[in-house]
């Protein structure tokens, strides 16, 4: 075997050992240790919990908005909760990439969320203020997740969450403009 490896090196052929040497220092999701996986999964699960609370708040407001701006808000909130639902699924699936369990119960969400539920049906102007505050909190959480994923070399999570940030920044701008 050693003769075959020496022969392969002398004629320029790559060996399994060459591949091992080149890839040993690189990071890949499947190679992270338990501590690194736990750190990114904790961040993703906290984001998942907050996003779930936000999603339910969007649904609540969509169902219960009243007043002269009903049609505008009703349609906008439906678009936002549909987007949120897709993003929540992506976050949960990303947790599974790390071979961990995403949070999946309302009790877990409420326990880990940085956002609070709104069990009431406030006036539409208060709904918009509440959603604007949610966006600030969610973007802050997302930025922390991006920083961690960058530190750990997790380009998949980084790219995904940066896309969410762009979406929420746009929603913040649009709702801010709507409420002026």
What are 10-48's pLDDT values in tens digits?
555 554 444 444 445 555 557 788 999 999 999 999 999
Name every residue whose Cβ is closer than 8 Å to that of residue 108 and which is 6 or more positions away in sequence: 49
Q: What percentage of residues in the chain have a pLDDT greater than 90?
A: 79
What pLDDT does 30 receive?
72
> Which 3-state string (H, E, C) describes 132-154?
HHHHHHHHHHHHHHHHHHHHCCC
What are the structural domains of the chain? 33-178 (1.20.1260.10)
What pLDDT does 33 receive?
87
What are 69-81's pLDDT values in tens digits?
999 999 999 999 9
The lowest-confidence range among 3-12, 36-45, 82-91, 145-154 is 3-12
């Amino acid at each position: 075997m050693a003769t075959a490896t020496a022969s392969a090196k002398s004629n320029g052929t790559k060996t399994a050992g060459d591949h091992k040497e080149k890839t040993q220092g690189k990071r890949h999701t499947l190679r992270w240790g338990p501590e690194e996986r736990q750190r990114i999964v904790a961040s993703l699960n906290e984001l998942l919990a907050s996003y779930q609370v936000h999603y339910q708040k969007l649904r609540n407001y969509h169902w219960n908005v009243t007043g002269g701006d009903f049609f505008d808000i009703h349609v906008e909130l439906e678009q936002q909760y549909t987007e949120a639902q897709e993003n929540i699924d992506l976050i949960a699936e990303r947790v599974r990439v790390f071979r961990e369990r995403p949070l999946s119960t309302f009790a877990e969400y409420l326990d880990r969320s940085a956002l609070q539920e709104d069990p009431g049906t406030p006036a539409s102007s208060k709904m918009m203020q509440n959603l604007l505050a949610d966006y600030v909190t969610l973007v802050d959480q997302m930025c922390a997740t991006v920083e961690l994923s960058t530190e750990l070399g997790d380009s998949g999570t980084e790219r995904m969450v940066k896309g969410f940030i762009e979406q929420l920044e746009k929603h913040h701008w649009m709702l801010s403009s709507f409420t002026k």
